[in-house]
Amino acid sequence: MAIPTGDGEPRLTHLDEAGRAVMVDVSDKPDTRRDATARGRVSMQPATLELILAGRMPKGDVLATARIAGIMAAKRTSELIPLCHPLSLSSVAVDLVASEDGAAIEIVARARTTGPTGVEMEALTAACVAALTLYDMCKAVDRGMRIEAMRVVQKSGGRTDIRDQIDPRQEGTCP
């Protein structure tokens, strides 16, 4: 993230004065409730989606496995992303639903904590690993699948909030 400096030039928060990567010191920041939502999709052939929804993929229940993989990944984000703070997550939810066009699985991942730093990376990690798991479980049937449009669509509780357009059917909060 770029933050403004006294001279008006933005600087990256994960670089020190010498340009070396550092973990941001959050020890003086107050604990607040932090929420983030990430979205993405895995596009595929309609026949592949039909197999997933019918539970007929050779590797098993694709949606349940991808959901659990996403949740597990969120809990390990700091081990995967350098300089990411380890967080005590209050909640992680991953939803995977068939797209209306019948050619994709839409992924929505939500993360929540109370602490001095946000959970955007945890939500993104959950969505990305859910997508990778889905891809892995279906690649024997459809090599043309595409992981697309991974992004943070909502974050709150910190210095800046993000609010993207979210389909009301997919909006919600972590349980």
Determine if residue 103 is left, alpha or beta; phi over 0 gives left, psi from -120 to 50 gives alpha, anything else beta.
alpha
3.90.180.10, 3.30.70.640, 2.60.120.10, 3.40.50.720: CATH of 32-162: 3.30.70.640
pLDDT of 90: 98
**Binding site for substrate, residues?**
83-85, 121-122
pLDDT of 10: 66
CA angle 147, 164, 76 (to 5 degrees): 55
Global pTM exceeds 0.75: yes
* Cα-only R_g, the chain: 18
Q: Mean pLDDT for each 10-residue chunk of the chain (175 residues)?
A: 55 78 88 97 98 96 98 98 94 98 98 96 98 98 97 90 60 37
Has 161 been annotated as catalytic?
A: no
| CA pair distance 107, 1, nearest whole angstrom | 25
pLDDT of 171: 42
| CA pair distance 64, 55, nearest whole angstrom | 10
pLDDT of 172: 40
Q: Which of 25, 35, 101, 136 is catalytic?
A: 136
